[in-house]
Structure 1
Amino acid sequence: MTLAPLLDLADIADALGGARASFDTALRHRALRKQGGQVAVEAGLRTARASAALQGHAYDLDELRAGTAVDPVVQGALRVSQALEGLVPSWTRAPRQVLAKLHVLAGRGIVPDAELGRPGGALAGGAPGVVEAGVQARLDGLVQLVTGKEDTLLLAAVVHGELLALGAFGQVNGVVARAAARLTLIAGGFDLRGLLPVDVGHLDREPEYLGAQATFATGTPDGLRSWLKHYAAAVTRAAEETTAICDGLV
């Protein structure tokens, strides 16, 4: 299985190319010569805030910086964001284990301990830890894609959309899906330093994000195209956010 045919959908190659160009421009910012680490930390913080907000748990950045946002969804999103760098080496070798780890990090204090790290067949209404055959097959296909050779930006979009559609991680499924997509961008070298807060782009285009993920789940060419166009737009918006972070440091 390969994702290459998706690039033949109308406007998709151009949309993804435009997103790449936007991030390439952001990467030329002079602040990144000496302050890339600070930018990465701030991008991670903004990513966590946006991911939690997309779950309906919105807080100001200042609350996250001060440590006063004790909401378990926010704390889970923060743990996930902080752990990504350490998970990069394992992602393309053992994606199942990494997904389980992301579930544990995101779900602590939300998901019962016995269910942490155990994907369930949520798409088919299955119980936690009991993966329905159709969901298992799609997870198997996703694992093959992650461990293979694909266009990184396209792969990240598909990883994100597929995990959202499967719903295998219950109450924190969105946090896990968004983290896996960001991990794909980092591990694949598109965002090697973790500077791109893609989830800010999803949050800023939330109605489109929700609508496009629903169309992706249909599996139709139009549905896939809608999601991929949204993903490209979210990356473009996130590149602007990277630039804004850099601007604040000079």
Structure 2
Amino acid sequence: MTDDPLAWLVSLEGVPSAYAAARDGIDVLLRDRGLRRTSPETTAESLLRGAHASAVLEGSGSTLEEVREGAGDPIAQDALRLSTELLGLAPLLSRAPLQAFARMHAVAARGSVAEDRLGRPRDGESAARLRDVAALLTSDTEAPALLVAAVVHADLVSVAPFPSHNGIVARATERLVLVARGVDAKSLVVPEAGHLANRAAYESNLRGYAGGTRNGVHSWLLYAPEGYAAGAEASPLRS
């Protein structure tokens, strides 16, 4: 019997190879294309692209150029505001994920919900389920970091613990897991853009995951590496 809460997911058919391939692709991108010419500006561009993609998935109609110019709609502005503070939360996500979740929501939802609701779960059940998600991030799991990111992302969307901006927080957390666990320390991959490029599959598989069936969870886990591969292609290192 194992105490690893994600061990059963790693054993599902096709999952280990899919995540190994996705990680190899990211490593090749960062090693061959990034290390010699990475700059803070490249990271900022990746975060900008991610904010735009996440906002569109949340219902924004703004273009990337509008967001780049600071003229996006409120959803885009919320996602962009979170992106500017996100990387500073990586240490907090590792040691106190509940605080990191609360801070991400407070930043993204500022001006959209009442001050006393910023960073606070909707109700007791949401708070309990959010603690379960946080426990995954502090568990002693041997699951690949990409799989941890995918599970936490889908869990946050499914739980929808906050009164607003749950998708934006979930996708920001996914990116932050990749930073905190050393997959993409400089945050140059754009997973949000990968999901936008595969929007129909992304949204369909999230719904399947939320249904809680083994097949639904399995399908999400097989989809997510495709999103990460597309996110690597969307990196500014490819420009």
TM-score range, shorter-chain basis? over 0.9
The answer for the alignment partner of 2:179 in structure 1 is 186
1:153-183 Cα deviation digits (max 9, x unpaired): 1110110000000011232110011111111
Q: 1:147 aligns with which of 138, 163, 170?
A: 138
**Counterparts in 2 of 1:111-150, with a 5 A limit?**
111-120=113-122, 130-132=123-125, 135-150=126-141
Instruction: Choose from 201, 210, 223 the match for 1:230.
Output: 223
Report the CA distance between 1:136 and its aligned residue.
3.6
* Pairing of 1:59-74 with structure 2 (within 5 A): 59-69=62-72, 71-74=73-76
Q: What are the ranges of 5 or more consecutive residues in structure 1 without an aligned counterpart?
A: 121-129
Residue 171 of structure 1 pairs with residue 164 of structure 2: yes
Among 175, 181, 191, the residue aligned to 1:198: 191
Which one of the candidate residues 4, 9, 17 is aligned to 2:12? 9
**Do 1:51 and 1:199's aligned partners in 2 also have CA atoms closer than 8 Å?**
yes
> What SS does the corresponding residue of 1:189 show, helix, strand or coil?
coil
2: CA distance, partners of 1:204 / 1:34? 26
Q: How far has the Cα of 1:31 moved from its partner?
A: 4.9
Aligned-residue offset at 1:27: 0.8
1:74-89 paired onto structure 2 within 5 Å:
74-89=76-91
Tell me how far apart the structure 2 counterparts of residues 52 and 97 of structure 1 sit (CA, whole Å): 23
> In 2, Cα distance between the equivalents of 1:56 and 1:30?
33
Between the aligned partners of 1:202 and 1:30, the Cα distance in structure 2 is 22
Q: How far, CA to CA, are the matches of 2:109 and 2:44 in structure 1?
A: 22
Determine what percentage of the aligned residue pairs are the same residue.
Answer: 39
Question: Is 1:46 aligned with 2:39?
Answer: no
For these two proteins, the number of residue pairs brought into alignment is 234
Query: For residue 4 of structure 1, what is the amino acid of its counterpart?
Result: A
Closer, same or farther: CA 225–95 of 1 in aligned 2, 3 Å: same
Give the superposition deviation at 1:35.
2.9
The alpha carbon displacement at 1:185 in A equals: 1.1
Could you tell me whether the CA contact under 8 Å between 2:121 and 2:127 is conserved in 1?
no
Mapped contact 1:93–1:147 kept (Cα < 8 A): yes
Q: Which amino acid counterpart does residue 38 of structure 1 have in structure 2? A: E
Residue type of the alignment partner of 1:141: D
Cα gap change, 1:31 to 1:21, in 2 (>3 Å)? closer
Q: Find the counterpart in structure 2 of residue 57 from structure 1.
A: 60
CA contact (8 A) 2:47 2:83 kept: yes
Q: Quick one: distance in 2 between partners of 1:222 and 1:94?
A: 31
> TM-score, normalised on structure 2?
0.92
SS in 1 for 2:165: helix
Instruction: State how far apart, in whole Å, the 1-side matches of 2:238 and 2:199 are.
Output: 25
Q: Deviations over 1:159-211 (max 9, x none)?
A: 00000000112321100111111111111111111111100011111111111
| C-alpha deviation, 1:111, in angstroms | 1.6
TM-score with structure 1 setting the length: 0.89
- Write the deviation string for residues 143-162 of structure 1: whole angstroms up to 9, x where unpaired: 12111233311110110000
Instruction: Say if 1:31 and 1:247, in contact at 8 Å, map to a contact too.
Output: no
Residue 108 of structure 1: aligned partner: 110
Amino acid at match of 1:110: S
Report the Cα offset of residue 73 of structure 1.
1.3
Q: Which amino acid aligns with 2:39?
A: G
For 1:220, the equivalent position in structure 2 comes to 213
The letter of the residue matching 1:99 is F
Question: Per the alignment, in what secondary structure is the counterpart of residue 170 of structure 1?
Answer: coil
